[in-house]
Amino acid sequence: MPRAARGYRCAACGWTTAAYAGRCSQCQAWNTLEPFAESRGPASIRGASPALPARTLALNDVPDEAGLRLPTRIDELDRVLGGGLAPGSLVLIGGDPGIGKSTLVLQAAARLAAQGKSVAYVCGEESPRQVRMRATRLGVADAGITLIPETNLDACLATAAAAGVDVLIIDSIQSVYVEGLETRSGGPAQLSEAGARLVTFAKGNEIATIVTGHVTKGGEIAGPRLLEHLVDAVLYFETAEGGSVRVLRAVKNRFGATDEVGVFEMTGEGLQSVENPSSALLESHDAMASGCAVTAVIEGSRPLALEVQALAVPTNLASPRRIASGLETSRLHLLLAVLARRGGINTGGMDVVASVTGGLRLRDPAADLAVLAALASAATDQPLPRGTAFLGEVALSGTIRRAQQAQRRLAELGRMGFTRCVVPAGTPPAEGIQLEPVRTVRDALTRSLR
C-alpha cells in the first residue's frame, strides 16, 4: 500500500509544503506541486525497512568547547563572530556584489594560515589567477592558502575532508552546484541542498566552514536568506553608497551575540579594522552646515556616534519626493508627520532626502530625535548649534522618550568632543557633557533653532 503523502514538493524549485496549493509560494510557478512521502535522505534509504536506533550519548561526555575558538586575528571579524570561528561551525557572509566579501575571506584565510592552520579556499566565482591578483594586492599570496578551483560542491567537500583542513572557505555559495539536482545552479533548491550538505560536512568533520553569498537589494528569493536557518552564524555586510566604511553585522549567531557589528574601512590594501568607529563615522561631519545632527546609537555591545544628514528643497511636484538611505522610508514619513503636526514645520512642499553617514543602517529608535532635528534644520536651512548632539525616541504625540543605556551613549558623545546634548527629561546627568532636557518636539526645536 502506498504511504500517505507527507506533503507536496514543487518540481521547479524544490519548495515543500504540507498543504496542496495550485501555485508554488516560493517560485510562483503554477501546477508544479507534487505529493511526496519519502524522506530527503540518500536514495538507498528511501522507503526502507524500519530505521536502526540512533546513537545516544551522555550530555556530560560531550567535550566542553567553550572558549575553544579559532580566532581569525582580524579584530572586527572576531568581535562579530563572538571571539573567532567555533569548531565545526558554518558561517554565512552575505552582502551586495562588490562590497568586499571575497576580500574579507581571503584576508581571514591568510591570517589563519599564518597561525599554522590549514585553509582551503574554493574559488568558484573567480579564476585562480584573479584570486592570485587579489592576494598579491593584499600582500598575502605567500600565506600558504590552498585553492580549490572547482564548482562541484561534493568534489570540493571531499577534497577538503581528505586533506583534513582546519578551515574551508567557499566563495560563493551561488557559484557551486550540487550534482543530480535538475534545478538551475544558484536557485532555491540548489541553495537549500548545498546548505544541508555543508552543515553535515562542517559538523561531521569538525571543519569550520565559511560561505559567502550575494544578496540583491530586497533580498530576493534565490538569495542566501534561504540558508539563514541552516547555518550557525549569518553576517551581513552593509555600506552606504560610495562610502569606504563597511559594517559587518551578525544577524544570527549561535556562538555569540547577535546584532554585534564590526566596522571596517576598504583601503587600497584591503579591509582594515576600524579601531575608533565613531570617529570614522563622523569623519565628514560639518557642524556649520544645515541639516546635520549627531547622535549615538548602541550597536551590539558598543555605543557609536554617527551623523544624520538631511536636505529639503522646495518642489513643484504634487507628491514631493522622500528619499531615505540608512533609515526606513516609513520612519522618515513618520518623523516628517510629527515634525509638521507637533513641531509646526511643514515640508509638504519640499523634496526631502535623509541619510546616515558612513554606511550604518539606523535601527535604534533613540536616533529619532537626531533625525527630526536634522529634518527641521534642513527645512529651515539653519545649522544646529555647534557641539550639540541629540538623543531620544520620538512618539507620535510629540513627546520625547528616554533612550536605553543613555550614560554609555553620552560618554561616547563626550569622547567625540560633543559638549552638549538634547535629551529626554529625566535623563540622569553625565560627566563632561551638559544636558539639555526636553519633554516635547516643540521644546527640542525651540532650544535648537531660532
What residues line the site for ligand TYD (CB under 6 A)?
A: 95, 97-103, 134, 137-138, 266, 268-270
CB of 137 to ligand TYD, least distance (A): 5
Binding mask 56-95 for Mg ion (x = CB under 5 A): ----------------------------------------
Q: Which residue, among 29, 13, 2, has the nearest Cα to 21 in the 3D structure?
A: 29
CB of 386 to ligand TYD, least distance (A): 34
Q: Which is nearer to ligand TYD, 233 or 297 (CB)?
A: 233
CB of 314 to Mg ion, least distance (A): 43
Distance of CA 194 to the CA centre of its chain: 21
Give the C-alpha distances (Å, rounded to integers) separating 343 from 211, 300, 301, 306, 397: 49, 32, 34, 24, 11
Q: Which is nearer to Mg ion, 217 or 450 (CB)?
A: 217
CB of 110 to ligand TYD, least distance (A): 12
When CB distances are held under 5 to 8 angstroms depending on the partner's kind, the choice from ligand TYD, Mg ion, none that residue 97 binds is ligand TYD
Q: Which is nearer to ligand TYD, 103 or 295 (CB)?
A: 103
CB of 99 to Mg ion, least distance (A): 9
Q: Which amino acid is at 345?
A: I
Q: Which is nearer to ligand TYD, 103 or 388 (CB)?
A: 103
When CB distances are held under 5 to 8 angstroms depending on the partner's kind, the choice from ligand TYD, Mg ion, none that residue 99 binds is ligand TYD
In the structure grid, which three cell numbers stand for residue 111, read together? 591570517
174 is a contact residue toward Mg ion (CB under 5 A): no
For 306, half-sphere exposure in the C-beta direction (CA atoms, 13 angstrom radius) is 30
Distance of CA 415 to the CA centre of its chain: 27
Q: Which residue, among 85, 121, 89, has the nearest Cα to 103 in the 3D structure?
A: 121
In contact, 426 and 440? CB cutoff 8 Å: no
Q: Which residue, among 23, 168, 186, has the nearest Cα to 90 in the 3D structure?
A: 168
CB of 445 to Mg ion, least distance (A): 46
**In the 8-state DSSP scheme, what is residue 23?**
B
User: Contact with Mg ion (CB under 5 A): which of 26, 32, 72, 102?
Assistant: 102
Q: Which is nearer to ligand TYD, 103 or 309 (CB)?
A: 103
When CB distances are held under 5 to 8 angstroms depending on the partner's kind, the choice from ligand TYD, Mg ion, none that residue 270 binds is ligand TYD
Question: What DSSP line would sit under 78-127, residue for residue?
Answer: HHHHTSSBPTT-EEEEEE-TTSSHHHHHHHHHHHHHHTT--EEEEESSS-
Question: At 212, is the secondary structure helix, strand, or coil?
Answer: strand
Distance of CA 370 to the CA centre of its chain: 23
Q: Which stretch binds Mg ion (CB under 5 A): 50-58, 86-94, 101-109, 324-332?
A: 101-109
Q: CA 364 to CA 299: how far, in whole Å?
A: 8
Interface residues with Mg ion (CB under 5 A)?
102
